[in-house]
Structure 1
């Protein structure tokens, strides 16, 4: 790939860019889903589900070590042929597109409930998609800088959730393993779906100024995302208990209502505004990724492609505010995507290994 040097990402920026693909509004609702099956042990499911991102990272690193200058779009056509490789690229693009649209829809719903209830959903959608488009238009370097800045804003605010330890109860976490190993494992796939987005490693690694740092960046991102997700589920249960968590759509927000700072009237609103930035960061990252995929099909300047996606993203994002439609697509799409990715990455790595072995024997 021919990439201008001024568009290359530093290792730190790549780390926070990857985190931006994972950590979003889904953390707010994850405790609700897991508690229904795993009860007070739901946080254990989050830890076990880290197997998925770790697998994707390690198999991606194997592929990158063999092809340090070619991303997944090129490799698919190289190993599967132009036709089948293009089909695989299209399936991957649809994953990114669905996630992008869901982020837009969730952000519209979230912002209308808590922040801009006076605006209609279409106006909110236009603003959100415009901001995502503008950020993606700035290219990977701009996205990297934005991701780094938003992460530094998010972490101090997120750490305030430690106050939940003061008002919660350890009794809410007991008995440990009370839900049973079977239920803990049963709810693990739900968390694995929330961890989707690591596929961006094979798409965007050529934009890193030092490819040798990609593994360290990816593992650091997995560790940070794992800590955030585990803590979000743990503190929600610890503070609210398993009876209250499922009754709130965004249970983690209730934890921030326990924060009492004299000079701040309601800390929850600070957290919600920061969370809006997180959602916009994720939307921008996915917007740029979809533009990359489309650019592979139709060679149009990447910045122009980012602009051309705007109308379609706006339309679909607005349509997905229909919660029932969104739930149907997500319920089918996410399990399919996770299964497809596991098979696809494994097959690609095997083909690369076998071809390398054949070449070695030939020589």
Structure 2
């Protein structure tokens, strides 16, 4: 009788030992499709523990991160470990294979430091399916994998492709506006004078494009002031505004001496080129009248500005005898009509 009891006990022990060797426990839900003795070699090598290569063959995305030295699994703290050190299995269907302290997780190990406002927001504000591009990872609930470092992988492009994708060239991690890294002096139009004090939206109007707020910063015309400013002269004065005016203010006309008078109907030569503008033109603050008092006067109509010292005796064609170098610098008088004098030939 005693022998029979011992024999039964031995059979029971052998049964439990053999079943334990065949199935040490239920697989976690994510691996539940691998249940069954025929699937053991999907993860294990015969007579050995879980094969590292087989883990990474299945979890190829993590393998790619390790290969390219990116992300948490490529950090020195994790790279030296085997997968099973952190993600063991056969502990039951509801066992959490991925578990870590979210509140105390060192994000530096991922290779992406949480700077500025990134360090103050909830993890799930960034780690959501909408920010994951890989289709397989996108389907996984609660994954922290799959995010990229570039800003536009999470944030919408406010500039809608009109500027470079290098957001950090202008913006920082605190807030979108202002853009402390932007330097207008590095553009094709450096800001000078009063332009430095103007709000951006005065030149770069805020509008709407594709149903969202938009502000165009590229392609703004700046070759001519009239691209932004109304011409107070109403096109009565030819040439570029900068010939007379500067960014210091509309009334700052220190450049007026460089105005190309040749663009008018009266090109300046000789002494005319050395004369102050207001010695010929009437002083006025009315932009519609300034420099218009001599409009339409031809170059050979000298007496429109000068007194006729000959009192009309020799006609009005002064240029036949005189030059613009000096009143006394006479030309060749061979063609002078002496019959106009009191001593005709």
> Which protein, 1 or 2, shows the higher relative CO under an 8 Å CA cutoff with sep ≥ 6?
1
TM-score by length of 1: 0.20
TM-score by length of 2: 0.20
